């Protein structure tokens, strides 16, 4: 019985420190832009905290070449994060000379909350034990 209690305690202890499973979520970023004749493309920046100033503390996640035949400014991106984690995005435009615009207004996305309950415990048994009297 003592071994069983120790095994259960160790199992519960290890479950407390198990890594949280990251979720994956697909998002679509859509924006509007002026189209100067020397427009070369757009850069998408992402950060896990407020993106100010842009683009210093954030990560470039996409560099999209401008296609004059495509009049919609959109891209899809697959996020991986923890439940309720917030991501911040900005877009900049750049021209053929390499000049980059200021950052767009920030857009944020929050990962869905974890609504999955833990698995149901199983193999519950009852054992009869003799408890010695306390002196």
Structural domains of the chain ordered from first start? 22-110 (2.60.40.10)
Pick the more confident residue, 51 or 67: 67
Q: Sheet of 86-95: strands edge to edge?
A: 59-65, 39-47, 86-95, 107-110
Model pLDDT for residues 15-44, shown as the tens digit of each residue: 333 344 567 778 888 888 888 889 999 988
């Amino acid at each position: 019985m003592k071994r069983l209690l120790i095994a259960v305690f160790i199992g519960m202890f290890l479950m407390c420190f198990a890594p949280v499973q990251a979720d994956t979520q697909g998002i679509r970023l859509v924006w509007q832009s002026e189209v100067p004749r020397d427009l070369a493309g757009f850069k998408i920046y992402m950060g896990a905290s407020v993106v100010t100033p842009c683009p210093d503390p954030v990560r470039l996640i996409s560099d999209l070449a401008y296609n004059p035949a495509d009049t919609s400014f959109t891209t899809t991106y697959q996020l991986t994060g923890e439940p309720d984690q917030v991501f911040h995005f900005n877009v900049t435009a750049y021209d053929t000379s390499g000049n980059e615009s200021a950052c767009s207004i920030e857009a944020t996305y929050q990962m869905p909350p974890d609504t999955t309950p833990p698995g149901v415990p199983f193999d519950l048994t009852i054992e009869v034990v003799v408890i010695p009297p306390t002196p």
